[in-house]
Homo-oligomer: A and B are copies of this chain.
Amino acid sequence: MASKTPTMTEVLRTRQIIDAAKICFKNHGFHGTSMAILADFADLSVGQIYRYFKSKEALIEAIVKEIVYHRIEVLEARGFNVEEVAQMLAERDMGKFDSEFAIDQILMLEVTAEASRNLNISRIFKDADRESCNRLNISLRKKYPHFTPQEIAARVELFTVLASGSDTRFLVEKKFSTEELRKIYLNIFNSVFTEKHSEHPQ
């Protein structure tokens, strides 16, 4: 991508390439998508794509950052409302406010699997996760100032596990009542985010 302030054409072209790449990656996977297939789908030349993204991995990095940061921004904008989060998790739909969510879920699964065998993708995945956890950490610290940094960090992880876990399950049938699961999540959040716990005796 150009290092100076991008022109409107460059911004639109970048958008066009990213949108096309997301659909190609979703349909064919990373391995099944060559720059030629992508160029064809985006109605551009391979040269035009390389002008904006120097490799398929640079494109994957841009997509992963966009997905991960967008999710955090949605949570931040809505003030990490536990009622809403419980509802979204129970519906397996952390993208309630985002029409692109289903494709984003699939792409993040693809990235996670690919990270296990490709060091560059692994670095992209880890960087995005670190940034996302940092931002969630800052939000939660502001919202729950009575917790220690260690308590906040564990809660960031809990939330991330719940969100990622729900993502992996959007394909399988629901074998539970959404309302029943929502109540459980809400109780968990009300308990984990408002009280200081000591361990229950067995």
This protein's copies in its complex: 2
Instruction: Tell me the residues in window 158-193 of chain A with beta carbons closer than 8 Å to chain B beta carbons.
Output: 158, 160-169, 171-177, 180-181, 183-188, 190-192
Interface residues of A in 24-69 (CB under 8 A from B): 26-29, 31-32
B residues near A162, Cβ cutoff 8 Å = 161-162, 165
A16 in the interface, Cβ–Cβ < 8 Å? no
Say if the beta carbon of A19 comes within 8 Å of chain B.
Answer: no
Task: Report if A200 contacts B (CB, 8 A).
Answer: yes
Residues of B within 8 A of A168 (CB): 109, 112, 164-165, 167-168
- Which of chain B's residues has its CB closest to A107's CB? B113
| A41 to B167 CA separation, bound complex (whole angstroms) | 34
Q: Is A150 an interface residue (CB 8 A)?
A: yes
Are B154 and A176 in contact, CB atoms less than 8 angstroms apart?
Answer: yes
**Is there an interface contact between A158 and B173, defined as CB atoms closer than 8 Å?**
no
User: Could you tell me the dominant secondary structure of chain A's interface residues?
Assistant: helix
A183 touches B161 (CB 8 A): no
Residues of B near A164 (CB, < 8 A) are: 164-165, 168-169
Is A117's CB within 8 Å of the partner chain B?
yes
Would B187 and A158 count as touching, CB distance under 8 A? no
- Cross-chain contact of A165 among B32, B165, B186, B192 (Cβ < 8 A): B165
Nearest Cβ distance between residue A93 and chain B, in whole angstroms? 13
Return 23 A-B CB contacts under 8 Å, by A number.
A27-B117, A28-B117, A106-B116, A122-B171, A130-B173, A130-B175, A133-B175, A153-B175, A153-B180, A154-B176, A156-B175, A160-B169, A161-B162, A164-B168, A164-B169, A165-B165, A168-B168, A186-B199, A186-B200, A187-B191, A187-B200, A191-B191, A191-B200
Leading 6 A-B pairs by shortest Cβ distance: A165-B165, A161-B165, A154-B180, A109-B113, A153-B176, A190-B200
